[in-house]
Structure 1
Amino acid sequence: MTRRISVVIEQDQDGCYAWCPELRGCQSQGATVEEALSNIREAAELFLETLTDEERLTSPHQLVLTTSIEVHA
């Protein structure tokens, strides 16, 4: 069974940090975007292995939205 999961990647001078909003606590990192994607895929698969069949079939989010806002700095 395959499942589509949202991934957020943040990049800075130290590398890339990746996390999955649908899988609370599932996160990884890598030196490059490609490495971070590979690592988060592995982390997500391992995360899903720890869930019961019922938990695996339910999705806590119907929509994951990324946007930006203006703030006074």
Structure 2
Amino acid sequence: MGAGLLFVDELGRVLLVEPTYKDHWELPGGVVEGGESPGAAAVREVREELGLDVPLGQLLVVDWVPPGLYPDAGLRRW
């Protein structure tokens, strides 16, 4: 399961990160660890990736991938 956060500035620009281990840009976030909530994972990943301690905002999106279509089902918080 993965979790991410959406950052938008006063001009409407969206913050994306370019992970060194992937060939595409994405929202800040990452994998939810065992026993961790998606919200806690998103905040932790942003701290690890960007060095930012940010409060968690409201839930915007949940994306679920049904089992069988991909190896793992997924949830994403943006």
Q: Same fold (TM over 0.5)?
A: no
- RCO higher in structure (CA 8 A, sep ≥6): 2
| Structure with greater helix share of residues | 1
| Structure with greater strand share of residues | 1
Larger gyration radius, structure 1 or structure 2? 1
Q: TM-score, normalised by structure 1?
A: 0.30
Q: TM-score, normalised by structure 2?
A: 0.29
